[in-house]
């Protein structure tokens, strides 16, 4: 866009006299661009034609059912849900740490049986919201959401059964992890 003359920097299509007429003084060697930037003639820096690439898009509100444009929440429910998701995620760190370092503990297994299915619920919910949006696939979104709700309740019930009638989640995970090393009893 800019050509370099022996002493000064000027646009290629503007002569020295045209720049002097616009700014009424010749740019000095100290700041050749400063005087051009201070000039009131903006045609030095802009082209007269606008170049558009691709198709022109219409108003997205007119075709909002075809686009997946996120809608801002009307209440604080999205902020509350995000805060709850972070709290559940951060609470898994000490719970899993106690499970790894201290082994099976009844209180820790109870917390793990509650927090881990809720954490999985939030993670799968975000996948459903992202990949099966309610506006584009209302029936499929409803189906996946109810399948997730029922699956989460079954997971919570299964964790409760393992914790109350069996050895607990941590000991159960240790058994599953070491099942390959143990021989089958026939």
Consult the annotation and say whether 46 binds a ligand: no
Mean pLDDT over 98-106 rounds to 92
- For residues 29 and 82, membership in a common domain is answered with no
114 closest CA partner among 175, 166, 158: 158
Q: Is the predicted pLDDT of residue 85 greater than 80, yes or no?
A: yes
Question: Which tens digits make up the pLDDT trace of 111-152?
Answer: 999 999 999 999 999 999 999 999 999 999 999 999 999 999
Instruction: Check if the beta carbon of residue 152 is closer than 8 Å to that of residue 121.
Output: yes
pLDDT, one tens digit per residue, over 32-65 is 555 555 555 555 555 555 555 555 655 555 555 5
User: Which residues constitute the domain of residue 114?
Assistant: 77-176
User: 165 and 118 in one domain?
Assistant: yes
In a domain, 86, yes or no: yes
Q: What is the pLDDT of residue 6?
A: 52
Q: Is pLDDT of 74 > 80?
A: no
Domain count, the chain: 2
Which CATH number goes with the domain that contains 93?
Answer: 1.20.1300.10
**Same domain as 19, residue 89:** no
Asked whether residue 143 is domain-assigned, the answer is: yes
What integer is the mean pLDDT of 12-23? 52
Half-sphere exposure of 122 (CA within 13 A, CB side): 16
Exposure string over 59-76, b if 16+ CB within 10 A, otherwise e? eeeeeeeeeeeeeeeeee
Question: Is residue 108's pLDDT more than 70?
Answer: yes
Q: Are residues 109 and 170 in the same domain?
A: yes
Is 119 annotated in a binding site? The answer is yes
pLDDT band at 27 (very low <50, low <70, confident <90, very high): very low
Over range 158-184, report the average pLDDT. Answer: 88
33 and 85 together in one domain = no
Query: To 10 degrees, the CA torsion angle through 19, 20, 21, 24?
Result: 130
Residue % of the chain over a pLDDT of 70: 56
> In 3D, which of 38, 14, 13 has the Cα closest to residue 25?
38
Q: Is the separation of the CB atoms in 128 and 141 below 8 Å?
A: yes
88 found inside a domain: yes
Task: Classify residue 18 by burial, with Cβ atoms within 10 Å: 0-12, 13-18, 19+.
Answer: middle
Question: Is 181 within the bounds of a domain?
Answer: no
Whether 31 and 91 map to the same domain: the answer is: no
Report whether pLDDT(30) > 50.
no
pLDDT of residue 124: 96
């Amino acid at each position: 866009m800019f050509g370099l003359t022996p002493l000064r920097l000027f646009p290629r299509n503007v002569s020295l006299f045209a720049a002097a007429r616009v700014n009424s003084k010749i740019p000095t060697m100290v700041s050749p661009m400063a005087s051009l930037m201070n000039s009131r003639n903006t045609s030095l820096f802009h082209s007269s034609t606008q170049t558009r690439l691709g198709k022109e898009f219409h108003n997205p509100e007119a075709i909002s059912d075809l686009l997946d444009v996120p809608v801002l929440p009307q209440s604080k429910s999205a902020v509350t849900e995000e805060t709850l998701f972070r709290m559940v995620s951060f609470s898994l760190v000490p719970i899993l740490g106690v499970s790894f370092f201290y082994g099976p503990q009844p209180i820790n297994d109870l917390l793990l049986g509650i927090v881990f299915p809720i954490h999985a619920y939030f993670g799968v919910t975000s996948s459903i919201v992202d990949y099966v949006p309610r506006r584009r696939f209302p029936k499929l979104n409803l189906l996946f959401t109810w399948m997730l709700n029922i699956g989460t309740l079954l997971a919570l019930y299964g964790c409760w059964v393992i914790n109350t009638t069996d050895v607990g989640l941590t000991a159960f995970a240790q058994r599953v992890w070491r099942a390959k090393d143990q021989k089958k009893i026939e």
